[in-house]
Chains A and B, each alone.
Chain A
Amino acid sequence: MTDKSHDPNQMTGAAMIVRALIDHGVQHVFGYPGGAVLPIYDEIFQQSEVEHILVRHEQGAGHAAEGYARSTGKPGVVLVTSGPGATNMVTPLTDALMDSIPLVCITGQVPTHLIGNDAFQECDTVGITRPATKHNWLVRDVNDLARVLHEAFYVATTGRPGPVLVDVPKDVQFATGTYHPPRKSDVHISYTPRVKGDATQIRKAVAMLANAKRPVIYSGGGVINSGPEASKLLRQLVEATGFPITSTLMGLGAYPASGPNWLGMLGMHGTYEANMSMHDCDVMLCVGARFDDRITGRVDAFSPGSKKIHIDIDPSSINKNIRVDVPIIGDAGNVLGDLLQVFKAEAKKPDIKAWWQQIAQWRARNSLSYRKNNDIILPQYAIQRLFELTRGKDTYITTEVGQHQMWAAQFFGFEEPHRWMTSGGLGTMGYGLPAAVGVQVAHPDSLVIDIAGDASVQMTIQEMSTAVQFELPIKIFILNNQYMGMVRQWQQLLHGNRLSHSYSEALPDFVKLADAYGCVGLQATKPSDLDGAIKEMIAIKRPVLFDCRVAALENCFPMIPSGKAHNEMLLPEEATDEATAKAFSGGKALV
């Protein structure tokens, strides 16, 4: 028998968890204590390498970790207790799964001998979160813990990134076992994500691009997830080919909004030029996007005349919604690098002058225009002013979900990747405020603004308390129209203007609420007040709740009604009652 008492790798499960976090370079953990994680909290208390950010609700911890991950490219880490702690994490885990955000969630569990007994604060965490994670583990033996934790980080951050969960019973946290640092053999040999694209397919794609007459590049969140290098390569490809480029909601910032080839966002609330280019193109290059229903509109009328190239790291994204001609499985950055190299060596910029002339005509429709108003703040105007007044600053934007989110995507120009955090796939109201907390933790000196709605913001407003405690000067810019605006817009368009429960009867006074939380409350009610108030907000180095009173009944256009094609957009000036009724006929059953 060897004496193990002096082996530095002998430690409790709780100590292993903290040690593994340190070994993976984790500096911040978002969490909330409870009975089943007390041993881990005891370890956190006794060290200073990992900082714990105490939230006010576990959902807040999850979204904060998402914001942290999205703005840094590193995995976000969450620590919560068993039972309600775990069930409260289901929303952020699903959100991260839909948007491919790397999260590592560690949950406490009741002791192994109580599992299955309906013990206090017990739930089947791995069962509940199985469809909400990329993978999850229940660790029953302390000697498996190190391997599982290392595998968890690997799975979360490689391939198509996503959330993972490790459930650790309390007796395993107390038990002593052997820790080992991360090593290759920690990972399932069955997990082998493909990074490099097939050379033959890339050659085929280049040939298609070189002969295109009406090409368009459609990029998505995969380019952002791949890292800053992928965005650089995307920009070089646009320059080398001279092609127009549009992007999904998740992909904003990969190509700069001020770039000459930028068409604006595409999809349900995308620009006219972006959607018409998608519809009429002859070659489409999709990079790191997944032909989501908010992008395609009517599937059988989606870009009917084009050959489609699809670069994606996840083979299950290929041919899921739309049949493509040249699929390339691999990491967006890696494939873009190869593609660019082959294009530069073997092809020359195709002549697409006629196509650009066509696009110029579509651009001239000015689909994002809105009527100016000197008395009431229009939400579009508020975002435009926010954008102008933060230009050149080191700014990060998060959003909630709804009309304000779409206006932010339309009117706030993003020049760089990792600057825009929004809940795209799951559409989680309440995402933006805690996400801003996470972004500010990662970037303490930057300007972090949550563009919010009055309804969404109340879903996670308790996290203002977190911001105050940790001195995180987040700015919550609420476009307050006293409605759940997007719900109301759909009720107006599809449900005979019967505004069923989409009006907030008893909104809090956000300025007083800010006061109650110990942060700063500001309000703007007139267009003439707006610039001054925004400047004041930016200058304050504390958390701010900004109550921006905007036109109550403004709706978000342009819009592709559900079930319609890209060339059946409804533009703002055309949205008369009659045209609207016609455009929306038959789409009621769709989401």
Chain B
Amino acid sequence: MNQPASAYFLEERHDPNETHTLSVLVQNEPGVLARVIGLFSGRGYNIESLTVSETESQKHLSRITIVTTGTPMVIQQIKHQLDRMIPVYRVVDMTLTGSSIERELAMVKVRGGGDHRVEALRLADAFRARVIDATTESFVFEITGNSSKISQFIDLMRPLGLVEVSRTGVAAITRGPEGM
């Protein structure tokens, strides 16, 4: 006997992925970062960038900034899953606040001479990157800005003798007088 097909019209959802920056205030205790990272790997969530440091040593508070991608439903899940961890105080979706500032710092090492060297210095100036180390055949630039600006700078350095890059990952904070 034939089984009836579903009697209802089914609306398939294809939600696009979104990128969100989350600020997570946690108790700074052993294993807290492992808990957060384990949550992401165990549940198959993405981490684009992760920055963590103690921010209030008296209260043992650390601030974790995570850039993640997913459908709106997944982003909501990530926030709830983080929020229910015992040492987590607050989770704030900086992207939803609509008024957050994001910055990343990178150190970029470039090696070369002649025209390439001059060109690298010229571009660094245009990007407001500072020279923090120099030899006769290399520079290390320090650049601060949002992630896309840093990526663009690195792309421009590539043909000029890019050796290596060290990036901090994203830190974020809201505008205005209120804290998270």
Binding site for B on A (CB under 8 A): 126-127, 130-131, 134-135, 138, 155, 160, 188-191, 298, 300-301, 304-305, 314-316, 318-320, 323, 565, 567-568, 570, 574, 576, 579, 582-583
Contact = CB atoms under 8 A, between A and B. Distances in A.
Contacts of B86: 134-135, 155, 188, 190-191
A570 B38 contact: no
B11 to A, nearest CB: 8
A323 B74 CA distance: 12
A188 B10 contact: no
A416 B88 CA distance: 37
Contact of A316 (B11, B30, B77): B77
Shortest beta-carbon contacts, A-B, top 5? A316-B80, A135-B86, A190-B89, A304-B8, A315-B80
A155 B2 CA distance: 51
Given A316-B84, A568-B5, 19 more contacts: A126-B31, A127-B31, A134-B86, A135-B85, A155-B86, A160-B84, A188-B86, A190-B89, A301-B10, A304-B8, A304-B9, A315-B83, A316-B80, A316-B81, A316-B83, A323-B73, A567-B6, A568-B3, A570-B3
B12 A300 contact: yes
Most B C-beta atoms less than 10 A away, residue of A138, A191, A568: A191
B90 to A, nearest CB: 8
B4 interface: yes
B76 A319 contact: yes
B87 interface: yes
A25 B6 CA distance: 53
Interface string B82-116: 01111111000000000000000000000000000
A304 B8 CA distance: 7
Given A188-B87, A190-B27, A305-B8, A582 B73 contact: no
Contact of A300 (B10, B30, B83, B87): B10
A127 to B, nearest CB: 7
Contacts of B30: 138
A139 to B, nearest CB: 11
A188 B13 CA distance: 40
B6 A568 contact: yes
A135 B29 CA distance: 13
Nearest to A191: B86
A138 B87 CA distance: 14
B1 interface: yes
A567 B4 contact: yes
Given A134-B86, A138-B30, A300 B1 contact: no
Contacts of A160: 84
B8 A301 contact: yes
Contacts of A320: 77
22 contacts: A126-B31, A127-B31, A130-B31, A130-B34, A155-B86, A188-B86, A190-B26, A190-B89, A298-B6, A300-B10, A300-B12, A301-B10, A304-B9, A304-B10, A315-B80, A316-B80, A316-B84, A568-B3, A568-B4, A570-B3, A574-B3, A579-B2
Contacts of A138: 30-31
A301 B10 CA distance: 7
A314 B77 CA distance: 11
B5 to A, nearest CB: 8
A380 B148 CA distance: 64
A160 B85 CA distance: 12
A319 B89 CA distance: 22
B27 A300 contact: no
B80 A301 contact: no
Given A135-B86, A301-B6, A316-B84, A576 B1 contact: yes
A314 B10 CA distance: 29
Interface string B5-44: 1111111110000000000001100110011001000100
Nearest to A155: B86
A202 B13 CA distance: 29
B27 A131 contact: no
A314 to B, nearest CB: 6
A323 to B, nearest CB: 8
Nearest to A579: B1
B16 to A, nearest CB: 17
Nearest to B35: A130
Most A C-beta atoms less than 10 A away, residue of B9, B83, B86, B89: B86
Contacts of A191: 86
Interface in B144-163: none
Contacts of B76: 319
Contacts of B88: 190
A135 B42 CA distance: 15
Contacts of A130: 31, 34-35, 38
Interface in B56-79: 73, 76-77
Nearest to A568: B3
Contact of A190 (B10, B31, B87): B87
A131 B36 CA distance: 11
Nearest to B13: A300
A127 B83 CA distance: 20
Contacts of B2: 579, 582
Contacts of A188: 27, 86-87
Given A126-B31, A188-B86, A188-B87, A131 B3 contact: no
B86 to A, nearest CB: 4
A305 B30 CA distance: 48
A576 B85 CA distance: 49
Nearest to B84: A316
